[in-house]
Structure 1
Amino acid sequence: MRPQTGHPLSYRLLLAVDIQAYSSRSTSEQLRAQGDLCAALDAAAARTGLDRSRWDEQVGGDGELATLPEGTDPAPVAGDFVIAFAQALAELNEGRGDRRALRVRLALHHGTLTAGPFGPAGDAPIVVQRLLDSTPLRRLLRDDAARDVAYAVSDSLFEDVVRTGFCALPPRDFDPIRVRAKGAVFRGHVLTGPLRGPGGADARPGPPVPSAVPSMRIPGLPVLA
């Protein structure tokens, strides 16, 4: 007989994002970085027809883990949204010095999870955060000063979504990575090519990105290191 846990599994798309060098900022700089990150995510969602108010979010001072609604098409998120997010960050960073620029790591995965009292439980949240914290992704952002977003997808999402041709980012622009953490191996693909749409076009233009948001979301338990 199947055990009745009261917590059914669901298959969802997860997005994790983390601000580079957050702890080295002053308190006022951290607050500005949080507002800018929220504004950039909101702008990217608006430009690609996504409703962030429907995302289940676990937020920490330097980023968030978001579970997107059931039935979300992963192809636009893996391509158009990420391109729009990079464009929003570029707009925010224009004219800023290196210290004030907002640069982030971003990872995507789709897999099984279940709701828990401290956030989603299951393999999917673990996979996306291992990719987010991986050395190859950190190295890419550190070594490429012109890049505002270092982006990785899980191996399964790459095979199921990026390779289909429905994603705005071409598979040839990704390089495979293998990450060992906590005694387990996680495989993914890091975008080493440019964050531009087909034909080299930038993300669709949209309303200007504010440098801060008028009200901040109430923080939950921090889950991103």
Structure 2
Amino acid sequence: MNDLAMPHEPAGHEDRLVYRLLLAVDIQGYTRLDVREQLRVQRDLSGALDRAAEGAGLDRRRWEKQVGGDGELAMPPEETAVAAAVGEFPLLLAAELRELNRSRSGRPRLRVRLAVHYGTLTAGPFGPAGQAPIVVQRLLDAGPLRALLRDDPDRDLAYVVSDKVYEDVVRTGFTRMVPGDFQSIRITAKNATYRGHIHVGDPMVFADLGELHKVPVPAPRAAV
């Protein structure tokens, strides 16, 4: 994914420090695909993200996004329900990816990494400045997260949360995430240390929980 550059705050708010939730997603193995397949997986992922967000009661149309060929960095509105973004959205995304991959006969599976963090940032002329955008990007690019997809062929989604999100959200019991299903990681990049927690629980159970939460589409009414 490219360097961070999301829409800046309106004039007069550039010096305001705010807490915001950030979600970053990236397609595993994107550069190995040909151009036509890259376009297909971009469309597939966009649709999966939209459906997962809708199922969690989140509106991606209101998210500020920086999109790249292989993913996006998104910043939902301040009033976003954090428990839904942290605990429901990933489950639904895993279910959407599993469903997509079942229909992708003869095509490479769509497998993605997802990182979530919240922290302080401020608007700048080239996008947000602060530690929060840096932390979520470092977690998304973490070697252990990439290895999780590489070493587990049954997993379509590799999910990591920052240490702060784990302590403040996952461990509260306000999500269906089981704290014991996460494994702590510590990574060093550019002389800085970042801590997070990777979901290492059964990927089938993870996607099953998302399936259970999906709202079934009503059957068409019979003509009278």
Instruction: Figure out how many residues of one structure are paired with residues of the other and give that number.
Output: 204
Distance 2:132 2:122 in 1: 10
Inter-partner Cα distance in structure 2 for 1:138 and 1:98: 24
Provide the rounded CA distance (Å) in 1 between the counterparts of 2:215 and 2:196: 31
**Is residue 2:19 matched to residue 1:11?**
yes
SS in 2 for 1:82: helix
User: 1:59 is matched with which residue?
Assistant: 67
CA contact (8 A) 1:43 1:207 kept: no
Cα deviation, 1:158-214, whole Å, max 9, x if unaligned, reads 0000000001111010000001001100000000003546x9573422468xxxxxx
Greater CA radius of gyration, 1 or 2?
2
Please give the alpha-carbon distance, in whole angstroms, between the structure 2 residues aligned to 1:31 and 1:19: 12
The 5-angstrom pairing of residues 62-73 of structure 1 reads 62-73=70-81
Matched residue type, 1:163: R
Indicate the percent of aligned positions where both proteins have the same amino acid: 57
Distance 1:115 1:177 in 2: 29
With over 3 angstroms needed to count, the CA separation of the structure-2 counterparts of 1:76 and 1:22, relative to structure 1, is same
Amino acid at match of 1:178: R
Aligned counterpart for 2:52 among listed residues 34, 44, 52: 44
Mapped partners of 2:189, 2:58: distance in 1: 32
Deviation at 1:6, TM superposition (A): 3.4
Letter in 2 for 1:129: Q
Residue 214 of structure 2 corresponds to 205
Shift of 1:29: 0.5
1:116 is displaced (CA, Å) by: 2.3
**Structure 2 unmatched ranges of 5 or more:** 1-11, 218-224
* TM-score w.r.t. length of structure 1: 0.85
Matched, 1:174 2:182: yes
Q: Distance in 2 between matches of 1:108 and 1:168?
A: 16
Check the 8 A contact 1:80/1:203 in 2, yes or no: no
Match of 1:86 among 94, 103, 106: 94
* RMSD of equivalent CA atoms: 2.0
Greater fraction helix = 2
Matched, 1:102 2:110: yes
Aligned pairs (5 A) from 1:96-135: 96-97=104-105, 99-135=107-143
SS across alignment from 1:109: strand
Distance 1:98 1:123 in 2: 42
User: Residues of 1 paired with 2:185 and 2:39: CA distance?
Assistant: 33
State the partner residue of 2:6: none
Secondary structure of 1:6's aligned partner = coil
TM-score by length of 2: 0.85
Which of 147, 150, 155 is matched with 2:158 structurally?
Answer: 150
